[in-house]
Amino acid sequence: MSIIKTATLQLSVSEDKRANLKRLSDFMDKPELSGADLITVGEMFSCPYDTLRFPEYAEPMGGESFLYLSELSEKHGVYLSAGSIPERGEDGKIYNTAYVFGRDGKCIAAHRKMHLFDVNIKGGQYFKESDTLSPGNSVTVFDTEFGKMGLCICFDFRFPELSRLMALKGARLIIVPGAFNMTSGPAHWELLFRARAMDNQLFTLGTSPARNEKASYVAYGHSICCDPWGKTIFRMDEKEGICLAEIDLDYADEIRSQLPLLSARRDDVYSLSEIK
């Protein structure tokens, strides 16, 4: 089995955590999502993207939101890439954490954002996640009935080494909950997803929150999916909505056999290894 039916949910985000979770539930109940195998949502979909407020919304793994998301995936019998939410770790630190739940509701992947978004772009965006967040340190690849998939969060995706490590671990699809802003989004969002897909000869799937011009941080939107040839399969607009797509993961193997980038690497000259 290689064809996976995806449903990308680009959702509006309010300050009410429970209302945001209920919004996801309502969307998952929509008839057009019947038959979906994988549902994805955006980064920090359950709370405002506001650094200083992340501790206010943070929950431990296994907390209220975690259990709610687990129940949703089991209820609908789908893989749920539940965007990301603020996690309060056992060490007391706050992380930006993405969870993936299997069809049975069990958590099959948890990724803590590795690269914190600390930027000061002249004439554009200033943001400093490290004011309240701590970085994770794991490359995240997980198994499904369709094959291996990779998972990272937004700014992580800018670092080509991470995507290459996921590809070398067998990922044929990389899922990226993200929230690019109105400075970086128009410049780099589609370019980045096409480049990572082309370089690693896999599918890339990025899910953003919908744009809210009144928010303290304005997300770009434009959730996107690209194929192993670097072609854009779909790109949404900035508004709340759903995009359905079928992805044939075997196409990654086909492209890799025709244009053997991964197998032609010169490991005798250069190499990339995961260091713990």
The DSSP annotation for 166-205 comes to: HHHTT-SEEEEE---BTTHHHHHHHHHHHHHHHHHTSEEE
Active site residue 154: yes
Q: Residue for token digits 């009935």?
A: 145
Q: Which of 17, 43, 87, 152 is catalytic?
A: 43
Q: Which of 17, 113, 238, 243 is catalytic?
A: 113
Q: Which of 154, 225, 226, 243 is catalytic?
A: 154
Phi, psi of 232 (to 5 degrees): -80, 120
CA nearest to 205, candidates 32, 37, 25: 37
The amino acid occupying position 57 is Y
CA distances from 146 to 98, 139, 174 (A): 20, 20, 13
In sequence order, the 6+-apart residues with CB closer than 8 A to the CB of 200 are 163, 164, 166, 167, 174, 228, 262
Active site residue 43: yes
CA distances from 45 to 50, 141, 146, 191 (A): 12, 22, 26, 23
| Paired tokens of 270 | 């250069």
b/e for 129-138, b at 16 or more Cβ within 10 A? beebbbebee
Active site residue 47: no
Helix or strand or coil: residue 28?
helix
CB hemisphere CA count around 230 (13 angstroms): 8
Q: Which residues are catalytic?
A: 43, 113, 154
